[in-house]
Chain A
Amino acid sequence: MLKVSEIVKILDAEVLTGQENMDLEIYSGCGADLMSDVMAFVKESVILCTGLVNPQVVRTAEMMDIKVLCFVRGKVPGEAVIELAKEKGITVLATQQPLFICCGLLYSNGIKGRGVWN
């Protein structure tokens, strides 16, 4: 488990919205650039790391009750994406780290929860 505040430090991330949610606890993670791959696994207390920066990332998070997003590889989402996330109460982080490194850092620091297939 990691708190969002710890994730911010580990990934050297910027908080784009959701500064009030730094105490939220994250147990599992998902790294993908295709949203249906994300939706194939339902998990609890999830962070979604992705290089995709369109509004459908926020929609996917909304449908799956994912509360924290992290955009990787220095990708910067448009204002509309951040606004939509704000409206849905979703915390958005951004890091320069590539997806693989991002997932590795989170896993080795304690986010090891698994999803359930079926």
Chain B
Amino acid sequence: MSDSTVKLHYDIDAEDFTTAGEASSGVKKTLTRLGVNPELIKRISIAMYEAEINAVIHANGGFADVEITPEMVKVVISDNGPGIPCVEDAMKPGWSTASNLVREMGFGAGMGLPNMKRYTDEMCVESEVGVGTKITLIVYLNR
């Protein structure tokens, strides 16, 4: 990998559910091209994809900002959606407010946030009701 930092920005569109995941797919491609360990790519890809899907289904879309350095991959998914009233509850496996419609599309198991936690080295959830949510995910590359 080169020493320089790679920065990527994506708009996460909520209009069309079929395109959800394109940001994560793009990041996965970039990490593969940079020669990052496939197991670490898998961890960051799953975590980012969960956060991207959440922005689509719970917050009407948002933004992804990704920073790749030789030491780590940092993904920030932010939105201006409704916010999470109680982050502690939302982090519990199985806890979900997803509608039946969302469930029919394959989401709403209440496992997204726990999965993000499981696959990353650091995770930070900042959320304010009526303002939005910002999820920061970090995976270190040299540990």
Which residues of A come within 8 Å of B, CB atoms?
33-37, 39-40, 42, 50, 52, 54-57, 59-60, 62-65, 80, 118
Q: Would you call the interface of chain A mostly helix, strand, loop, or mixed? A: helix
B42 in contact with A36 (CB, 8 Å): no
Contact of A54 among B18, B46, B50, B108 (CB under 8 A): B18
Residues of A within 8 A of B106 (CB): 33-35, 50, 52, 54, 56-57, 60
Which residues of B come within 8 Å of A, CB atoms?
17-21, 24-25, 28, 38, 42, 45-46, 49-50, 53, 103, 105-112, 114-115, 118
A118 in contact with B118 (CB, 8 Å): yes
Residues of A within 8 A of B42 (CB): 42, 63-65
Please report the C-alpha to C-alpha distance between residue A17 and residue B72 in the assembled complex, in whole angstroms: 36
Residue of B nearest to A57 (CB): B106
User: Given contacts A57-B106, A62-B25, A63-B46, are A37 and B111 in contact (CB under 8 A)?
Assistant: yes
**Besides A40-B115, A80-B18, 17 other A-B contacts (C-beta < 8 A):** A35-B109, A36-B110, A39-B111, A39-B115, A40-B114, A40-B118, A50-B106, A54-B17, A54-B18, A54-B106, A55-B21, A56-B105, A59-B25, A60-B49, A62-B28, A63-B49, A118-B118
